Structure formats: structure tokens, C-alpha cells
Amino acid sequence: MALMGLALCCLRVAFASSTSLPIIPYLELQAQPETVLNAFATDGILLVPGVPGFADARRAALHAMSTCFAQSTAPAQFKDRLLADGAQRRTAAAETHGHTLRPMQVGCPEFEQKADVLRTMVHMTLMEVIRVWGLAGNHDNKVVFRHESGNPYMSLLDAVSSATHLEHFHMYTSRDGLDDSDGRASLDLHTDAGLLLAFASPLYSKATPSTAPKATPSGLVIQRETLEAIDLPEDSIAFLVGEAAKWLPWPARPLPHELHLPSGQRAWYGIMSRLPEDAVKTTDFDPALAKQRTFGEWWHRAMTSLSSSTGIGCGVAEAAVADPTHLCPEGQAYCWMQCMMLPPACTLSTAKCVHPDGTPWSNHSEMCPTCTLTCPAFTGWDFCDESAASDMIMQGFVAYGITGSKTKPCVILFFQSWVLNTRWKFWLGTLGVFTLGALVELVATIAIHPTNTKLSRFLQAALYCFRMTLAYLVMLAAMTFCVEIFAAVVLGLGVGHAIFGHSRKSNLSGPSLCCSHGSDLRRRSRDIRVTPCLQADTCVVLRVHGMTCGSCTQTVARALEGVNGVASATVTLGSSGPTGGLQGPGLAEVWVNAGFPGVEAAVSAVEDAGFEAQSLPKS
């Protein structure tokens, strides 16, 4: 029964007029985005009539093509192929990169000129259909595709506009005395590998339709619920969905189709749109990988599979139905009557042949012309969107909460591999940033006391560099624009200041202009027994040069009191000169105890504060 049903499928081809196909006039495309979306999701085909000047441009270009292909004496510029039914196909290929048409060179200037007009019209209509299709499918404006580097393509049109599209002018010539009355197709049932195939209605010459009862002016037979031979109006551009549409996150049905030729010649033009070679599905993008799975890799694998395939016809289909373990070329899997291209991110073990409602095709004797290959739906990331991970979220402050948000980009903390893509990583990173903030305050309390001038300055410079490194890391953490991490920065600095702030010594770690300090700071009084310094063994007297104001004495005193073993220091200015200014150096009386390292340490402390000092011998 299965073989009988299959035979009926091959022998009975229904006729579908253009009125039974989805049609949207060119000027109404923008107003009917949902119709475009539904047409490509359900039927896999759409007709767009009403492109100004298209019918005349099509007729002129295809007529000039027939003349050129018949008279050309330069076969190297064409590619000839013998089809399954004995018909011959001659092809001239061209390319369009983005919106730039690359010139054709076939030795027929008239054809080349008229072909460019047709190419331009079809390309412009194709871009408009893709724009509307992308807006309808991606209504929430998510990033669907990314460059391999991670930068986003802003829309489907943006991606397609960056790709190279393949164009073909085909001239089919049937074998003398041959028609398709035996049901044999020139091109067996297949789907195209591209995203969307746009083509014009063919132009026939020397045809005898009466000898081919099943032939239509298009010669195209599509598979919807059954095989249907369709009519294509001369003023319409047809759009067929290809296998690359499975890269889209919204429904799209690649349309199986075949070609039946009447006797005579058939001139045809079409362009196959593609995605950029470096395009990566956002849902498959992994910033931790050095090499992403790109559309270019998928495309080259698809081309290899197609070139190694013999095509699907009735005889092959019968064998396939009888043997569900039918072997398919690499990159394809068997799904009712044919080998289909594996969807992106699919493998032979994960691909499923399903009905349109998602029910698996398990009864291999059951007819299922609408079955397609699919993969289990992607359920999203565990904590955040890893495909959009960033070290600086350019959407303002973003909060993740306890459980995270699968629609928000993951945070990259400091290094490319430090992606906070799980709950424990996120909160561990937040705790680390809190600790970093407190550590900045702790390091600020450390002072290097001078014992040797060169070593002291080296250690002070090293400590300064370490503290600045920590401070800049804290700044970078705050610039991730993550609410939790920013709060950890503020709390870490605050807690660190509360714990370690009172422990800071008052000595200055480097030179400063003494008079830039306010004079409102006063030294705290100490209950120290006054003893004449010059008569005491526990007192050191220094002569200090460069002090010009009261704040200078306070600066020198603080510097001296920061030296180990110094109990207190009294600093006075020099005597007044005749004009009222200071004249001569000031004096510093330094009271020390047993821990005092020596006069050299006191002199170094004064010099580090920005003044000159020398020991004054006692008399």
C-alpha cells in the first residue's frame, strides 16, 4: 500500500493556478508583514506582482538571453549540464555582493545590459521582501545573528546585505521529440540550500505545450500537501524558501520542488540569497570558543552534500520508503521520500522528522509530504545570555537578582574567560569585587618608613603601583553596569574605610607643597615634660631649610613623628629679617626613645616631606 500510494504521488500532479498561491502586490508588502511571515512558514512560496517595469524588463532580458546563448561561440563562459530526462541546460553565472551587482561577461553586450536591468529589479524586490520578513519574524528586535567576532548584525536585512548572493541565467533545451508525458522530471524533487530564492517566470520559445499535457508555463512543480504544477504570471517575482531559512528563529518551510520541461527552450533567471560567511546564530555563539560555527562552514558542507547526491526521484523515493534506514550524504538526514539538509546545530542523533504540528513521523508507511527535519527547541541559558556576554553592558544598569535573567547578557569580569554565566560564578565574582574594594582601603594604610633612601623610594613606588592597580580594577568592575557588582564596589570601599581608615598614619608618602594645606589643622597637645633639648641625650636637633609658613612646621613635625622611635617633634621657623620676612633655617627638636634608628632616618623623613635638613651638633 505504501508503494502504491507513492506511485500515485508520482503519477498524479495537481495543477495550482497563481490565485491559489500566496500573493502580495509589491506596494502592499510593508502593510502585510504577517502575511509574508505566514506564507513562508506554511507554504514556503510567495508571489509578488506589481513591480514597476518588471514585466518588460523580464521579457527583454530573457529574449536577449535566448539569442545570446544560441549564437555564442565562447563555451568557456557557460556551463553545460545534461539533466536526468536528457534535456540540456546551459548556465551563465553572476554574483551580487550586498547591493553591488558584479558585471557579467558573456560576450553579448545587449544581453548583459538588459540582464543588469532585470537583476537590479529582482534584487531590490528581494531586499524589500527580506526586510519585511525580518521585521515580522523578529518583532521584539533581538539580535539574531552575530559576526564570528561577536559583533551583532542589527537585523536580517543587515546580515543579508553583507553577504554574496548567487545568480544564474539558465537555458533549458529539451531533447528532440521528448516531452514529460512519461512523468519523468528534468530536475528531481529537491530543496535549495539558500535562504530565499527569487526568480522570474520563464520565457519559452519553440515550445509545443500541446504535446505536454502536464506542463505549465512555469514548468515548476512544488510539494505542499501534494505535488502541484504551478502557474507563474509574467509580471510576478516568485520567492521560494530554502534550507538556510532553518537558521532563522521563526518558522520557515523549505519548499521541495522539481522541474518538468515541455519540448522546446526555456529561459530562466533567479538569484539565491544567502547569509554572510562569518554569520553565527546568536543562540549558538559561545564567547569562550576561539572558533565559532559559521554559516560559511554550513554552506560549504551543504554544497559538498548536494554535489555528492544523485537527487531524489520516484525510483529512489520508493527504495527510501521501503528502507527507512536509507543512507544520506554527509550533512543530511532521511525524512520521508528524501534526504534533507540538517538544520543548524543539529546532528544525525538529534534531528527528528516531524509533522507540522511537531508529532514525530514514526510510521514509515505513512504518507507525510509536509514532514520536515527539526531539532529539540533551544530552552535558553541557565543564568544569563551567554551569546551576548559583555564586559560593559551598554544598556544602562542591569540587575540579575538571585536567579539571574536568561534574556540579559552575561557579565565578563576582567578577563575574556571569566564569564559569570552561572549563579555561583556570579555571586562569587560579586564577593570578589567586594573584597577588592576593602583591599584598596587596607593597602592605603600601609606606610614605608625610610631606612635607606633608594630602597625606601623603590618600595614606596611599588606600593603606589599596587594600590593604583587595585583601584583601576575596582573602577573596571563598576563599569560593567551590573547593579550587584556596583553595589559590591561601594560596600567594599565603605566597609574597608570603616575598618582600616582609623589606622592610617598621618605621614605623607611623597613631596607636597606645604602651604597648599589648610592651616586649620592643629597639633594635638601632649603632656610631655619639658627638658632643654640641647642638654638631653634623648633629643635630636635638626636644622630645616625651606620652611616659609606655619603649615610647613606642621608638615615637618608630622613627617618626623612618623619615624619609628620618635616620641614628639617641635618645629620652629627661622628668625624674621629686616623686611619682615623669614631669615635663616628653622629648627626641629626631636624627642626619641630606644626604638629610634638614628639621625639619618629623621633627615630622610624631612627630605621626603619636601625640605632640606641637617643634623645640628650639640654644644
319 residue type, one letter: A
Among residues 158, 123, 124, the alpha carbon closest in space to that of 138 is found at 158
What ranges do the domains of the chain cover? Answer: 2-277, 385-503, 514-615
Confidence of residue 544 (pLDDT cuts 50, 70, 90): confident
Question: Residue 165: its pLDDT value, please?
Answer: 93
pLDDT above 70 covers what percent of the chain? 72
Instruction: Report the range of poorest mean pLDDT among 24-38, 107-121, 579-593.
Output: 579-593
Strand ranges, E, within 110-264: 145-146, 152-153, 164-173, 187-190, 196-200, 203-205, 220-223, 227-230, 236-241, 257-259
The pTM for the full model equals 0.53
Average pLDDT, integer, range 58-72: 88
Cα separation of 441 and 492, whole Å?
A: 9
Which residue from 573, 582, 539, 538 is spatially nearest to 555, judged by alpha carbons?
573
User: Would you say residue 494 has pLDDT above 50?
Assistant: yes
Residue type, 115: A
Q: Please state, in angstroms and as integers, the Cα–Cα distance from residue 321 to each residue in 47, 226, 326, 327, 341, following that order.
A: 33, 17, 8, 12, 18
Residue 266 is classified by DSSP as E
Report pLDDT digits (tens) over 234-290. Answer: 999 999 999 999 899 898 999 998 888 877 888 999 999 999 998 988 888 877 777
Q: CA angle at residue 202 from 196 to 205, to 5 degrees?
A: 160
Name the pairing type of β-strands 196-200 and 227-230. unpaired
What are 78's three cell numbers?
A: 557557460
- Cα torsion angle, 191, 194, 197, 203, sign: negative
What CATH number belongs to 514-615? 3.30.70.100
Please check the confidence at residue 368 and state whether its pLDDT lies above 60.
yes
Closest CA relative to residue 111, chosen from 58, 64, 169: 64
Task: State residue 134's pLDDT score.
Answer: 93
Per-residue pLDDT of 158-203, as tens digits, reads: 999 999 999 999 988 887 655 555 567 778 888 888 999 999 999 9
Burial class (CB in 10 A: 0-12, 13-18, 19+), 23: middle
2-277 CATH choice from 2.60.120.330, 2.30.29.30, 3.40.50.300, 1.10.1760.20: 2.60.120.330
233 vs 227: CA distance, rounded Å: 19
CA 218 to chain centroid, in Å, comes to 41
Between 329 and 547, the higher pLDDT residue: 547
The full 3-state SS of 496-543, as one line of letters, equals HHHHHHHHCCCCCCCCCCHHHCCCCCCCCCCCCCCCCHHHCCCEEEEE
User: pLDDT at residue 502 above 70?
Assistant: no
Query: Dihedral sign, CA of 141, 355, 20, 55?
Result: positive
- Is residue 308 pLDDT above 70, yes or no? no
305 within 8 A of 331, measured Cβ to Cβ: yes
Among 103, 95, 247, 87, CA closest to 172: 87
**Cα gap 530→24, rounded to integer Å:** 104
CB distance 32 to 215 below 8 Å: no
* Range picked from 21-25, 96-100, 174-178 for highest mean pLDDT: 21-25
pLDDT at residue 562 above 50? yes
